[in-house]
A and B are shown apart, each in its own frame.
Chain A
Amino acid sequence: MIPAEFEYYRPKDMAGVLSLLEEHGDDARVMAGGHSLIPMMKLRMADVPHLIDLQDVGGLSNIEINSDSIHIGALVTQSDIVEHAGLADVAPILREAALQIADPQVRYMGTIGGNVANGDPGNDMPGLMQCLDAVFTVAGADGERQIPARDFYEAAYMTAREDDEVLTSVTIAHPQGGYAYEKQKRKIGDYATAAAAVQITKEGGTCVSASIAMTNLSDTPVYSEAAGAALVGTSLNDAALSAAIAAMWGDIDPTEDNRGPIAFKNHVAGVILRRALERAWSRA
């Protein structure tokens, strides 16, 4: 049964969305593809008397590739990311990660906006966005503001977005160097036991920069600045990899569940990160 009755709105523009949010405050929720929100509502994890569907709001469904940045509207689906002609050339890690999300049915409906805004620690895109140092644009009554992905996540389902704001787009500088999105899951379509997003650049045989973020190992995605720093100036030899992994361990805080005990999750996080780094380095 779908949770009880709720009011459904489909405003034609962002002004309409924002005025509904202002009117209903905490009782309203915006929805893109609905594939995060609807299951939560069904399980009564979210009680939403007023549901605002974004799909008629223009300008949220585009992928724009500019000379130095990529702009992805909130309504762009995972499937759009997978199939976009030019995106994989400039940011192949997006496609690599999107293909590891759920299954085709979900990828057709599930959006970037929903995946990053929802705050579910199991979602793949938030960690990836932290790795890419993406900036989220949110619209509110006072206009737009930009929030870096690395500052966006506060706790499970708690983000820097205010209740009366809408996440409208994601902006990413063209990623540089080698990349990898490595995910360990229990079966096809599962959330990660651990996942690592890595972008890495090198000059000669030396690492110039490394950006590392981990998924489903804390109640938020974890951007591990220290893990990246441990690699800069190294040749990603075994000692450097071990140092980066140790630094990453200092930043994550997994809990025991059906995916395994804490020690196992730390272990898997280490293995996954090592593999991601090795793969990214080979592509750098």
Chain B
Amino acid sequence: MVSFTVNGVSQDVDVPLGRRLSHVLREELNLRGTKVGCDSGDCGACTVLVDGDAICACLTPVAQVAGRAVETVEGLAKTGPTALQKAFLRHGATQCGICTPGMVMAAEALLRCNTKPDRAAVETALGGVLCRCTGYTKIIDAVLDAAGRGTGPEPSAGCAVGARVERLDGAAKVMGNEAFGADVVEKSALIIRAVRSPYAAASFAFGNLEQWAEARGVRVFTAKDIPGINCFGVIERFADQPALAETNARMAGEAVALVAGSEDVMAALSFEDFPVIWTVKDPHLSLKDAAASGAAVLHKSRGDNQLIAGVVKRGDVKVALAEAAHVVEGSLRTGHVEHAYIEPEAGLAWMEGDVLNIRACTQAPVLDRDSTAKVLGLPVERVRIRPAATGGGFGAKLDLSVQPLLGLVTLLTGQPSKMVFTRSESMVASTKRHPAQMHAQVGADVDGQLVGMVFDGDFDTGAYASWGPTVAVRVPVHASGPYVVPNYSAEARAIHTNGPVSGAFRGFGVPQAAALQEQLFDQLADQIGMDRLAFRQKNALRDGVTTVCGQALSGVGIGACLQALQSRWDAALISVAGFNASTEGKARGVGVASCWYGCGNTALPNPSTMRIGISAEGTICLHQGAMDIGQGANTVIAQLAADALGVPVHQIKLIDADTAVTPDCGKTSASRQTVVSGKAAVLAATALRAKILQMANMGSEAEISLSGGVLTLIEGVARRDISLRQLPQAAYGYVLWAEETYDPPTEVLDENGQGAPYAVYGYGAQLAEVEVDLALGTVKVLKVTAAHDLGKVINPLLAEGQIEGGIAQGLGMALMEEFHPGKTENLHDYLIPTIGDVPEVVSHLIEVPDPEGPMGAKGLGEHVLIPTAPAILNAIRHATGAVLTQLPARPDRVLAAIQAAMS
């Protein structure tokens, strides 16, 4: 028995004394605001206060707090958010929310002993808590303004779009009562753990599973137990991945069996003597191995291990480059990058009648439903996905993780089941950013006008297809950057290896390609003798000019973005020159890079459907099925719907994604939710408004208000009151409702990649200022100035948060992130930026309206990461002359490149 106080209340817990405090708080005391992200003291999500000091609950055996006072996030907010928690909301300091309780507690400890901390003190105090969404800037702002008062604006009818509205779903996140996948409580649930391949390539056979299971009081499930088709994939045509491998493991960490049992048994169970016999094969661990002639193929139908190639060709690039006045070429190699969301995959499954219910983190509920149903041999009506709050995704939670495994156990046992990945399991089993080996050549005429570009890239897609086809198709469309390139030839191939599955990661291969293309543009500008920003401006895409796919665009904002950087560019060049003239041993540099990114699927249907209804009691419900994984869809889409309907946004009640109650809004991917689901919401809300106006026989300018079950319409002196209770029930429990679908118009690409792959693009450019230690090769990013064209800024607060978070991830990709299977499967060997590693960020939000997007809006989520790495690389080269040919730009590589540049 251990006795201590938690949030002022005495607790006596009867648990093994070595059990961790995090586990005791969550499982024994039901205080699930304390999150577990890594379980080894690296992420700080479990930060609680013990006698006032911020500590990691996951590293603290409960016996160590005997007689002491423990405080958790639940203890702060007795009646509502505290001033600190309100500051987190007001400043947009919470996105997915998984790190927020730890951040809040670390900040609370600081503020108790230092009521007016400066930025350095905040960075120090919060240095042990990792956030993967925000880029930390808004967290720092919140802590510095913790004593400030008030909340964000609550705009009146018609004024939501453009306002800095606080997240509508934010209160639960800052108060710690948001329920993520691991927070769903079901004491009777069987706990599932997976047996995974320790080898990158091996065949296997099981021994006596029944005997092993019986001796331990557990059940074992293998591929033989799968009732449906043991093959899933995010793109049905390329489906190739088994939920449980059958006889062959194609990657380290692939699940081959499940073990399910009671919590106590599973906690102590060792897999050391699990009856499986491995026959190890020679794996293909690199693109070179996989492409070698005569190399064994991973999938029979894919000779040469090539999954797919994407091509875009326009004009005659050979002639153009041969005749070009200036030509540069170069190569770049990138590694695996891990998404490193702070929430490992987790969820719960249970049966309701004959319907399998799954509550897990996800970016794609309908895809989860369809794939899980296929694997389990169920009609889709018998699978209901009710997503948990999702603690970051960035692309990897588009793929199935726990869903088919939970479904299998619950379907076959009839019992609820729960599965929570460990940090290392999350890192071995989830998808990664594609490693790329790229080469490109770019030419310009004497005046600095681009004349042609060749791009060729191999992308390591790993053991299974996942989003490899998307990367291969998307990269050639985007590898030109947002520039006019009249002669162009680009090919990208997705190649199978026995490495981790490479899937979707913020940008789908475009960040890798941009990192090469933008570096070459700098070299080309230097060769021509042009200012690097002016060179980009001269070649920037413009309205009506065709892209490399032959698509003429409208609402092209890249020129405006580059223009917005001009003043900082001029100032930074001067200040850097001054610093370098007066400093030895260090050099500063300035770099710029652009991005463009097509929103949604590439030349494929991509619909979203939204429903909005008003109940007899007078509640306006928006069936918002577009998963909010922290990026803010819940708020932004509600703002759009509110203005289209003509009511205050805070009057809208969100119905969260649930395949039984929200129409299909597709996947949270490819920066499509604001554009596609947002437009569906605008259409649905507009249709509902039209119905109301028609019912009242009012004109389109009538003002609608809703109070106490009465809809009031006023137009000039005319007024109509509609008592909602007197209306007949229409459908879905509403007296008034509308549902609309929007599918962005695209055209199929021809064999040369010509057509209209996307209906809406977004644009951006970033300027990085860095300082390089010339002796050590270390790079400190001092400041990033970002200009992004959003078409229409729906919520500046959330837009800035996307930009700052994307920059932090881009900085990680540029400088430190490199996943190696077996070596970096935790958050201390795999590095992501901490609060002390991110630069000051200044954002310029540009509005060049898109004719297709909702109220002119464009996507943003992925765009923001693309220019960061190349801007940093260009700044390093500007400072030192070093040309990096491999990412990340680790100090040893930077130093070698500096030395190469000097010799």
Contact = CB atoms under 8 A, between A and B. Distances in A.
Interface of A: 1-2, 4-6, 8, 10, 31, 34-35, 38-39, 42-43, 51, 53, 55, 79, 102-106, 108-109, 184, 186-191, 193, 258-261, 264, 267-268, 271-272
B16 A5 contact: yes
Contacts of B53: 79, 108
Given A1-B422, A104-B106, A264-B892, A186 B831 contact: yes
A54 to B, nearest CB: 10
A261 B892 contact: yes
B746 interface: no
Nearest to A10: B63
Nearest to A99: B124
B727 to A, nearest CB: 55
A104 B110 CA distance: 10
A6 B18 contact: yes
B359 to A, nearest CB: 22
B15 to A, nearest CB: 10
A104 B823 contact: no
Contacts of A264: 777, 891-892, 895-896
B829 A258 contact: yes
Contacts of A2: 18-20, 23
Contact of B268 (A4, A79, A260): A4
B48 to A, nearest CB: 10
Contacts of A272: 776
Contacts of B109: 104
Contacts of A34: 59-61, 64
A231 B777 CA distance: 27
B39 A42 contact: yes
24 contacts: A1-B422, A2-B19, A2-B23, A4-B270, A5-B18, A5-B268, A35-B56, A38-B40, A42-B39, A103-B127, A104-B109, A104-B128, A105-B56, A105-B129, A106-B41, A106-B128, A109-B60, A187-B831, A188-B127, A189-B127, A193-B891, A258-B820, A260-B890, A260-B892
Contacts of B23: 2
Contact of B106 (A4, A8, A105): A105
B818 interface: yes
A189 B64 CA distance: 24
B404 interface: no
Which of A8, A10, A261 is most buried by chain B, counting CB atoms within 10 A of its CB?
Answer: A8
Interface string B297-337: 00000000000000000000000000000000000000000
B892 A188 contact: no
Contacts of A189: 127-128, 834
A206 B247 CA distance: 72
> What does DSSP make chain B's interface, helix, strand, loop or mixed?
loop
Contacts of A184: 776, 778, 891
A275 to B, nearest CB: 8
Which 5 residue pairs of A and B lie closest in terms of their CB atoms, listed nearest first? Answer: A103-B128, A260-B892, A8-B17, A188-B836, A264-B892
Nearest to A268: B776
Interface in B22-41: 23, 39-41
B421 to A, nearest CB: 12
A184 B47 CA distance: 27
B841 interface: no
A42 B778 contact: no
A259 B820 CA distance: 13
A264 B128 CA distance: 28
A34 to B, nearest CB: 6
Nearest to B54: A105
Contact of B59 (A8, A10, A38, A260): A38
B194 to A, nearest CB: 13
A234 B391 CA distance: 58
Nearest to A31: B61
Contact of B54 (A31, A35, A108, A188): A108
A35 B834 contact: no
B59 A109 contact: yes
Contact of B127 (A6, A79, A104): A104
Contacts of B837: 187-188
Contacts of B895: 264, 267
Given A53-B61, A108-B55, A186-B891, 12 more contacts: A1-B267, A8-B17, A104-B124, A105-B54, A106-B41, A109-B60, A184-B776, A187-B831, A258-B820, A258-B829, A260-B890, A271-B776
B835 interface: yes
Which of A1, A103, A104, A109 is most buried by chain B, counting CB atoms within 10 A of its CB?
Answer: A103
B723 interface: no
A213 B59 CA distance: 30
A35 B127 contact: no
A31 B59 CA distance: 12
A42 B827 CA distance: 14
Contacts of B9: none
A169 B836 CA distance: 33
B84 interface: no
A8 B125 contact: no
A187 B816 contact: yes
Nearest to A77: B53
Nearest to A194: B776
Contacts of B776: 184, 268, 271-272
A260 B20 CA distance: 35
B18 A8 contact: yes
B268 A39 contact: no
Contacts of A4: 267-268, 270
Contacts of B61: 8, 31, 34, 38, 51, 53
B894 to A, nearest CB: 10
Interface string B118-136: 0000001101110000000
B824 interface: yes
A34 B59 CA distance: 7
B63 A8 contact: yes
A261 B892 CA distance: 8
Nearest to A188: B836
B806 interface: no
Contact of B818 (A5, A42, A258): A258
Given A10-B63, A42-B40, A104 B17 contact: no
